[in-house]
């Protein structure tokens, strides 16, 4: 299994600590277990920031980083080994494992945190934490601070600054290392295979969930624990619902099906959308819309390179889509005026992409100092233009209604432009039709 090597977690902690102010401490909690319903838990997914700094996969754990501390800079609070609980729920690293397998300098039982952590915080000037995102943890943090305050008359020194960790950490997460790109390429490869499998399996009379099952099969076979987000399998008019997740409608001859799905490998997401005909052959209208979206995506790729800013790719998609809609008679008027008035938003109502990484909509600022962020090598993002023509849209001729097309790929910014991580799935009309025809010929 391709995964982030242990040494990289150590490098990340060091890099973060090097940016922290002198005499400070950072504290991060693991994700909580979420209850699904009585006695059933949601599949556990570690918090992305916590995972980024530790690779530690268990709940009920807290990372403490104390740059410059002579007795160890990285302390992990985690669950103790417990033969009975491990018999029921699975193995735990315990404190020994935290040090041996996860590089902690020291480790303590999570049940001792209230006794130990105030003593670690005391005397440090600044506390870095993800303030505001986890109210329960924020409350704990204030309790620990109050323990120190209550001892002020004995000379205890509570910290006097609380700093949001996100600025430092999320900026680090925005730039992907070689190891991260390797994992993301693997997630992309498996997801590409899943999309191909769904194209090959499609037949009128199957259901949207039949195709979702094909995706899940490839994801799990490839070693992914779960999709990076709820898979969207939207046939016919459902393709016009941007975040459709019902996935239970029948696939009809003549429908397009839009699949937006990607798996997660070692907590790194992929995010791919392909749109293709259930029958294996695009109708003239479907093809016309598809070609506009594809051209928009190509135009966007050309605007992704170091020194180009975040919005240039989006602007390129807006131009190509507006021109295309005018050419097809779906919009009327002067292209410049239609862009200025955002008339295209009736059919293209989302942005051309987002940062991609441990979170499918990854962290990182899109603007810096009020200006669009300039792209740099190692940033990863999606490129996903779309056109959606509502099934009841009386402003257009009937033949166009209910067509929804999105095409989405994942890219990394390189020295000379960008590398498409998800090029393993066919994308041109000819290539999709050929792949689907071959699958049918084989099945016949
Ligand atoms: N799958 C969600 C997105 O494309 O942003
Ligand atoms: Mn996306
Ligand atoms: Mn997507």
> Which pLDDT band holds residue 152 (cuts at 50, 70, 90)?
confident
Q: Are 380 and 355 in contact (CB under 8 A)?
A: yes
Whether 95 has a pLDDT exceeding 90, the answer reads yes
Looking at residue 274, its pLDDT comes to 98
Dist CA 231 CA 220 (whole Å): 14
Query: Model pTM?
Result: 0.97
What is the full DSSP assignment across 39-90? Answer: TEEPPP---HHHHHHH----SS-EEEE-TT-TT-SEEEEEPPP-HHHHHHH-
Mean pLDDT of all residues in 54-65 = 98
What six digits make up the tokens of 412? 């990394």
Whether 47 has a pLDDT exceeding 90, the answer reads yes
Whether 9 has a pLDDT exceeding 90, the answer reads yes
Q: Are 56 and 98 in contact (CB under 8 A)?
A: yes
Express each pLDDT in 169-179 by its tens digit.
999 999 999 99
Q: Are 313 and 353 in contact (CB under 8 A)?
A: yes
Express each pLDDT in 371-385 by its tens digit.
999 999 999 999 999
What distances in angstroms separate CA 85 from CA 32, 62, 63, 82, one per listed residue? 17, 20, 23, 5
Looking at residue 131, its pLDDT comes to 86
Ligand 1, atom 5, lies closest to the CA of 361
Active-site positions read 39, 243, 260, 271, 350, 354, 361, 384, 388, 406, 408
Q: Are 147 and 116 in contact (CB under 8 A)?
A: no
Q: Cα of 97 to ligand 3 centre, how many Å?
A: 37
Q: Cα of 382 to ligand 1 centre, how many Å?
A: 9
Instruction: Check the CA dihedral 276-278-279-285 and report its sign.
Output: negative
Name the average pLDDT for the chain.
Answer: 97
> Which pLDDT band holds residue 118 (cuts at 50, 70, 90)?
very high
Give the ligand 1 atom nearest the CA of 229: 1
Express each pLDDT in 250-292 by its tens digit.
999 999 999 999 999 999 999 999 999 999 999 999 999 999 9
> Which pLDDT band holds residue 444 (cuts at 50, 70, 90)?
confident
Express each pLDDT in 356-375 by its tens digit.
999 999 999 999 999 999 99
Dist CA 306 CA 286 (whole Å): 35
> Which pLDDT band holds residue 243 (cuts at 50, 70, 90)?
very high
């Amino acid at each position: 299994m391709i995964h982030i090597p242990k040494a990289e977690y150590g490098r990340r902690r060091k890099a973060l600590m090097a940016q922290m102010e002198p005499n400070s401490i950072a504290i991060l909690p693991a994700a909580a277990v979420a209850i699904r319903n009585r006695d059933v838990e949601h599949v556990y997914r570690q918090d992305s920031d916590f995972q980024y700094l530790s690779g530690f996969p268990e709940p009920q754990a807290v990372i403490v980083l104390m740059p410059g501390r002579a007795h160890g800079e990285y302390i992990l609070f985690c669950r103790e080994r417990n033969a009975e609980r491990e018999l029921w729920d699975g193995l735990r690293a315990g404190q020994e494992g935290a040090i041996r397998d996860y590089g902690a300098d020291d480790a303590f039982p999570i049940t001792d945190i209230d006794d130990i952590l105030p003593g670690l915080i005391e005397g440090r000037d600044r506390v870095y934490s993800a303030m505001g995102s986890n109210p329960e943890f924020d409350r704990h943090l204030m309790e620990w601070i109050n323990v120190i305050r209550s001892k002020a008359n004995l000379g205890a020194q509570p910290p006097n600054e609380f700093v949001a960790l996100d600025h430092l950490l999320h900026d680090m997460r925005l730039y992907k290392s070689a190891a991260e790109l390797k994992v993301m390429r693997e997630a992309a490869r498996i997801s590409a295979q899943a999309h191909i499998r769904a194209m090959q399996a499609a037949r009128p009379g199957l259901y949207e969930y039949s195709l979702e099952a094909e995706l899940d099969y490839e994801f799990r076979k490839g070693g992914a624990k779960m999709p990076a987000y709820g898979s969207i399998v939207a046939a016919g008019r459902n393709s016009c619902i941007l975040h459709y997740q019902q996935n239970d409608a029948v696939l009809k001859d003549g429908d397009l099906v839009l699949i937006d799905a990607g798996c997660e490998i070692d907590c790194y997401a992929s995010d791919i959308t392909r749109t293709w005909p259930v029958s294996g052959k695009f109708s003239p209208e479907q093809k016309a819309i598809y070609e506009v979206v594809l051209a928009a995506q190509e135009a966007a790729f050309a605007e992704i390179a170091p020194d180009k800013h975040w919005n240039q790719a989006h602007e390129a998609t807006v131009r190509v889509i507006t021109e295309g809609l005018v050419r097809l008679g779906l919009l009327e008027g002067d292209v410049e005026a239609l862009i200025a008035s955002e008339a295209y938003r009736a059919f293209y109502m989302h942005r051309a992409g987002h940062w991609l990484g441990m979170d499918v909509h990854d962290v990182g600022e899109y603007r810096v100092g009020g200006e669009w962020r300039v792209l740099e090598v190692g940033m990863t993002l999606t490129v996903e233009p779309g056109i959606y023509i509502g099934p009841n849209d009386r402003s257009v001729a009937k033949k166009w209604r209910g067509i929804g097309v999105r095409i989405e790929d994942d890219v990394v910014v390189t020295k000379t432009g960008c590398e498409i991580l998800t090029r393993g799935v066919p994308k041109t009309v000819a290539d999709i039709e050929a792949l689907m025809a071959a699958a049918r010929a084989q099945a016949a």
